[in-house]
Amino acid sequence: MAEKIYIFDTTLRDGEQSAGVAFTGEEKLEIAFQLERLKVDIIEAGFPCTSPGDLKAVQLISGEIKNATICALARAVPRDIDLAWEAVQHAKDPRIHVFINTSDIQIAHQLKKGRDEVLIQAEAMVRHAAKYTSNVEFSPMDATRSDREFLYLMIERCIDAGATTINVPDSVGYAIPEELGGLFRSIMENVKNIHKCRISFHGQNDLGLCTANSLSAIQNGVRQIECTINGIGERAGNTSLEEVVMAIKTRKDFLQFYTDIQTEEIYRASKLVEGLSGMPVQWNKAIVGKNAFRHGSGIHQDGILKLRETWEIMNPAEIGIPKGTELVMGKLSGRHAFKVHLEEMGYHLSEAETERVFNNFKELADKKMQVDDRDISALVQAHLGEPEKEAWKLELVQVSAGDHAAPTATIRLIDSHGTLRTDAAVGTGPVDAIYQCINRITGLTPALTEFSVKSVTEGIDAQGEVTIRIEESGRAFLGKASDTDIIVSSARAYLNALNRMIAARQ
């Protein structure tokens, strides 16, 4: 039978220790409400001794949150523990979390004490916290670098003193998954009263191993995982809540466990914490990153369109991502995905039209880092109503212009028989030179009655969309084209109108 993994969220405590992050009391409460909707089991709301503001924030959360244990952190000193209790005493289910350094390097250089002193202090302070509540958590800080025998003794004595949860933290992100699993097995084997408490793991991500370490811990007896939204926290951050939760949910075949997390609230929680913390989520962040469910490869897009599960092991709807799977149109996109995307935009083109638009899209994607729907729409509009067979195709356009030079255009066109035709012309400006040259090659001299240019998108690499209107014998013909080079789009728009005029003649 599957066992429950309790999720202990420390976004409001360790997450706030991220350099540059400081939540107001109101912001902490807003995040706490979202964590409650997420159905987190324990919310570590703060470290009350650090400031009067944090004390008030934890008190505020304790009074408002009804469906989660509210925890406050305290060093193993009486004042910290007293303030922690003052902060959480009105919570529906209050917890005091006591910690002390246990590695030799931190005992000697930070506490400047001996092991025996630290052991006595830890035991006494856990007992002090247990006078306030039976829900006491104890953390031997830097446990993964601590002497094993000393660690066993510390845990055993603190359980006897009243700790009901023992959290073993990898405080500097030092552990390797296999090594960590061995540590928990040895704790189970060597701490005789370990069965009296729940075992927890708190990981730091200094080596990028938080999620792997957390899963290893679970497989070796841990039933509480301490984590944060988006993995924010001190230095390189903490274990990411969304990664552990979705790993458990996705790999039920391998991990015989479950959580009570309402996963549809994960994305909302991620965006809330991202906004209030000011820490942007990296695009390729697992689960909640911008690219987590976006596909740019044509091979992947084709597979997704046939069956989403070919390239996605999770459904974005499970995480609450509103847009779901997204096929990103770019230079790696294939015809299948492009045609489906056109239909989603409301365009139903013939095969010939689709091919022409797709070829122009590929050219554009090589020039622009991002191609959005406005770009694609401009390409489609330029080809709507084009004749199936073009009388003339643009092969080359080159312009020389300046305030002390006569604008000159060199144009190479391909006629309907595949013959290359090249010529040059001078005009009053670069666009006029282009049109004069095209007229010389084609032998056509329609009247140009309208010429307009507009930007399709924002940015320095935006497409310039050119719209022109020509007239012959009282009939008007519209031409459109777009390109990141306004000179090229001017030439294409003119040819677009000429081809329509020729098709109308025929």
Indicate the pLDDT class of residue 388, thresholds 50, 70 and 90. Answer: low
Contact predicate 212/200, CB 8 Å: no
Which residue intervals of 424-485 are DSSP H helices? Answer: 430-442
Q: What integer best gives the mean pLDDT of the chain?
A: 91
Q: Tokens standing for 470? A: 């020509």
Residue 234, domain member (yes or no): yes
Contact in structure between 407 and 401 (CB atoms under 8 Å): yes
pLDDT confidence bin for 385, thresholds 50/70/90: low
Instruction: Label residue 371 by pLDDT band (50, 70, 90).
Output: confident
Per the model's pLDDT, the better-predicted residue between 170 and 302 turns out to be 170
- Are residues 188 and 307 located together in one domain of the fold? no
- 189 and 263 housed in the same domain: yes
Residues 397 and 379 both lie in one domain: no
- pLDDT, tens digit (0-9, with 9 covering 90-100), for 66-95: 999 999 999 999 999 999 999 999 999 999
Half-sphere exposure of 76 (CA within 13 A, CB side): 23
Supply the pLDDT for residue 86. 98
Nearest to 294 by CA among 330, 243, 253: 330
- Average pLDDT estimate for 392-417: 92
Residue 318 lies in a domain: yes
143 pLDDT more than 80: yes
Q: Which of the listed residues 350, 383, 416 is the one where a domain comes to its end?
A: 383
pLDDT of residue 415: 92
Look at residue 257 and tell me if it is in a domain.
yes
- Which pLDDT score, from 0 to 100, does residue 339 have? 85
In tens, the pLDDT along 224-250 reads: 999 999 999 999 999 999 999 999 999
Q: Does residue 282 sit within a domain?
A: no
Mean pLDDT, range 19-44, rounded to an integer = 95
Residue 316 has pLDDT above 60, yes or no: yes
Residues 208 and 342 both lie in one domain? no
Beta bridge pairs of residue 431: none
291-306 average pLDDT score? 83
Same domain (yes/no): 169, 216 = yes
Query: Domain check: are 398 and 377 in the same one?
Result: no
Q: Which of 366, 383, 400 is the last residue of a domain?
A: 383
- Say yes or no: 130 and 254 in one domain: yes
- Does 209 map to a domain? yes
Q: Check whether residue 402 and residue 460 sit in a common domain.
A: yes
> Dihedral sign, CA of 207, 212, 216, 222?
positive
Q: Are 372 and 457 a contacting pair, CB within 8 Å? A: yes
User: Quick check: is 287 in a domain?
Assistant: no
The pLDDT, as a whole number, for residue 394 is 92
Of 53-57, 359-363, 408-412, the range with the lowest mean pLDDT is: 359-363
- Domain stops at, among 277, 308, 333: 277
345 and 446 fall within a common domain = no
Same domain, 197 and 249: yes
Residue 157 confidence (pLDDT): 98
What is the identity of the amino acid at 221? G
* pLDDT for the residue 387: 58
Domain-located, residue 31? yes
pLDDT in the model for residue 382: 64
Mean pLDDT within 464-490: 86
What number is the average pLDDT over the span 322-336?
Answer: 78
Domain that holds residue 463: 392-505
pLDDT for residue 375: 76
Indicate the pTM of the whole model: 0.76
CATH of the domain at 410: 3.30.160.270
**Section 13-38 average pLDDT:** 94
The CATH number given to whatever domain includes residue 186 is 3.20.20.70
Domain count across the chain: 3
The answer to the question of residue 457 being in a domain is yes
Q: Are both 309 and 255 inside the same structural domain? A: no
Same domain, 273 and 419: no
Cβ within 8 Å of residue 109, ≥6 positions away: none
DSSP labels, 130-141: HTT-S-EEEEEE
Question: Among residues of the chain, what percentage have pLDDT more than 90?
Answer: 68
